[in-house]
Amino acid sequence: MKYKVLENIGKFLFDSIYQTGINKKIAVILGEQALDLKILLTNPYITKIDILEYFEYCILQEAQSDFEIDEGFMGQYDIYPLDVLSKSLFENDPKPSYASEYIGIIGECFLGNLIDFTCKDEKRSLSCSFDSPFEAWKYFKEIFFYQYQNYLYDNSKKEEYSKILWSNFKDWNSWDIGVSLTKKGSKYLEEILEPRFYNKYKDLSVEIDDNGNIIRWIGEINR
C-alpha cells in the first residue's frame, strides 16, 4: 500500500502510517524508537540537512502544544525515547550521533528565541533567568540533557517541601519542566517552516507491504 509522507501543512510525517496501524509491523522490523526517523532514512536521497530540518520541524511542532519536556521531546517516537534513558545515551559522546544533533537543534531553537522553557516553581522562564541566553542554554543543556544524575527522574529522593527552581537542579524532574513556542517561534513555524516542509514532501510517498516491509519510494523530494 502507498502512503504519503506528508498529508497536509502542519501535520507530522507519516500520519497515515499510524492511522492504519501498519507502524506496529514496521516497528517489529526497524525498532519502535525514533520510528519516523528510521523510515525516513531508508530513502536513499535523504541528506543530513534534511534530517536537521526534520528535527527542527518536530521540535517546533511539539513546542506549540506547551507540553512537559518529556512529552514534547522524549516520547517513544522521538529521537530520545523516554523508555531507554541512560547515561550512555545522554553523555557528551565525542562520536557523532543523531541524539547530539537533536540536542543541537533544540539549542538553536532556544537561542533563536523560537522556544523557551519553564520550571514548576519559577516565575521566570529559562531565557529570562540568566544574564544571557547562551549562559542559560549551556547550564540547562549540560545538566538536563547530558547528566541525568542525582535526583533527576527519582521523585522518591526529592527533598520534602523543596521548590523546583532553575538553581535547584537536584530536584528537577521532566514533568516539572515545560517547553513552549514563543511568538517569534509561532510566526516562523506557521509562515515559513510549515509551508516549506510541506512543499518539500508533498510529492513523496512510500510503498509498504502488509508485513511492514518498505518496498520502494515513489515521487521526489522537492528541494
pLDDT score recorded for residue 75: 52
pLDDT at res. 200: 98
> So what's the pLDDT on residue 171?
78
What's the rounded Cα separation, in Å, for the pair 220 and 200?
9
Q: Which helix (H) or strand (E) holds 181?
A: strand 177-181
Query: Where does the pLDDT of residue 91 fall: very low under 50, low under 70, confident under 90, or very high at 90 and above?
Result: very low
Q: What is the pLDDT of residue 189?
A: 98
Q: Which positions ≥6 away from 196 have C-beta within 8 Å?
A: none
Neighbours of 221 (CB within 10 A): 16
CB-based burial of residue 72 (10 Å sphere; 0-12 exposed, 13-18 middle, 19+ buried)?
A: buried
Q: Are 214 and 206 in contact, with CB atoms under 8 Å apart? A: yes
pTM for this predicted structure: 0.83
- What pLDDT is attached to residue 87? 42
pLDDT at residue 107 tops 90:
yes
Provide the phi-psi class of 216: left if phi over 0, else alpha when psi is between -120 and 50, else beta. Answer: beta
Higher pLDDT, 100 or 82: 100
DSSP conformation letters of 139-172: HHIIIIITT--TTTT-GGGSPTT----TT-GGG-
